[in-house]
Structure 1
Amino acid sequence: MRSPEFWWRPRPGTRARLLQPFGWLYGAITRLRMCRRGANAGIPVICVGNFVAGGAGKTPTAIALAALLRSLGETPFMLTRGYGGALAGPVEVEPRHSPHDVGDEALLLAAQARTIVARERAAGAGLAKRLGASVIVMDDGLQNPSLAKDLRIAVVDGASGVGNGLCVPAGPLRAPLAGQFAATDAILMIGDGAAGDAVALAAQMAGLELLRARLEPSREMASRLEGHPVIAVSGIGRPEKFAATLLAAKAKILSQRAFGDHHPYSADDVSSLIAEARTLGCLIATTEKDMTKLGPLWPETERKRLVVVPVALVFEDPARLAGLVGSVLPSAAAGAAQP
């Protein structure tokens, strides 16, 4: 499902105000849950979450953190709920698994690091430790109290911030922002925008670390897309972010097909997309996340028409991120204790 457009307006409108009492109740319940003490995994847990319902860039951030941890000599495991998948876990994601089994995001994570799917996060952390993890990167779960976290990073989309500032269903917030600040160590602002700047200022006033980054396609992909007409196809929380990536690569967007987040693509969807692309005489551009479900359905005869657009997270100050992450690792503590 796509989030309601009225959530992302700078100020609450009439519809949001009518729903605000329900938002107060939802936010209060979530905040109370966040105050519970979680189980200790026995190894560091770095949580990558967000303040709002919908996409903000958690998965690329988790992937970037896993790469950083490997460079620091660690053995990171990803831990995710496996949204949209049938398996409750805990189970390690393997090549035999499909999006139906573990969800699309879990497959993306597993392509970068060993990944555990578990609806019960503490049980998933236990499995990761038994399999040799030295640190866990938890994809989402900032509001989940079941597992204690050593470092909590909230990802914020610079363009949309926290929308109208109200809680679900009146707005996109999962709990009141001030309460979520209290359960967060650092903010990662992805991209620029006035909405994000307002959140960044409030976070700094609350004493949180502020990191900045941007999502970029590879140079090779940007070169391939430049000047080419495309249909932008995505089933993500904020499809306009994918469109912005294509525009930044100087692609010519002729049409946008924004499906709901975690959309279960069908053969009819594929046939419709191919027919439209033939009529327009263009390529079809999609995200890595969507490709996990589109790929098995796509006919080989039309494979050249489909362009997958991977993006990487580029940090403004990588050393600052490394210092923040290193501060929660046992190796850093041991080094500091030596004379």
Structure 2
Amino acid sequence: MKKIMRVFVAGHNGMVGSAIVRQLSANKNVQIITRTRAELDLTNQQAVLEFFKTEKIDQVYLAAAKVGGIVANNTYPADFIYQNLTIQNNIIHSAHLCGVQDLLFLGSSCIYPKLAEQPMTEHALLTGILEPTNEPYAIAKIAGIKMCESYNRQYARNYRSVMPTNLYGTHDNFHPENSHVIPALLRRFHEAKLNGDKEVIAWGSGKPMREFLYVDDMAAASIYVMNLEQSVYEENTEPMLSHINVGSGVDYTIRELVETIAKVVGFEGEIKFDATKPDGAPRKLMNVERLESLGWQYSIALEKGLELAYKWFVDNQEEFRK
């Protein structure tokens, strides 16, 4: 019989963490270990260390983080850098002290410079100035990558890092004020349809291009990278450049995104773009050649993913109105 592997998913209630849990649940040789925030404060160093000593963990998916949109990052920069650094420091170091050999750290595409060449390769890390609005969060994530690399170099651990593009899907944040573009638009078009509105106004010109990945694809990629043979992983990474981009490698204009969301929701009114509103960066696309060379590609196309995300929102929308 195969040994039952005890796998700790930190951040299991979040969008990515919950998707990882759903996929790991299909493996009968995996025992999933989770803790709510009330059960384990990940910013408490001693509590995290005691947890690892007690639970005898084999693998860790580090999906726990303090996250938020531009407004939250601008308003609470100290919270973002402190809490994220503390959470990842506690988990990575405690995992090492307790003999955990395998860990996967989930980062963010915001680690790359604001003006990084498109598509963004892993080599763009630390080559330029970060986007100021989320710099504290990005620096914490960069520190997490370098921490994993450092434990690998000094202690021969197998701590890997994946950097996702813009994610969306089930368990996303659909708050009307601080959600990201896809959940915000899904909710806006849904409510416009219910209200019988004749038009919906979208911010910007619609010309910027963005890449999106459905969260179940992100979970699948995370599990795939975690379980790659070490020899295969090392052939396709570098000791000081060990993180791997995760995305579709396909981008869309915001206009295409908005029109697809209107179609999925069933909104039949007019769509107008307010070009007086800011567009942001003209393009943000991840280069995913390294991940593809390791044998993984995304499988859920944008329209299908939007349909799944919208269904989940409709089925759970009462939760967002409390």
TM-score of the alignment, normalized to the shorter chain, above 0.5: no
Please classify the TM superposition score into its range, dividing by the shorter chain length.
Answer: 0.3 to 0.5
Q: TM-score, normalised by structure 2?
A: 0.34
Q: TM-score, normalised by structure 1?
A: 0.33
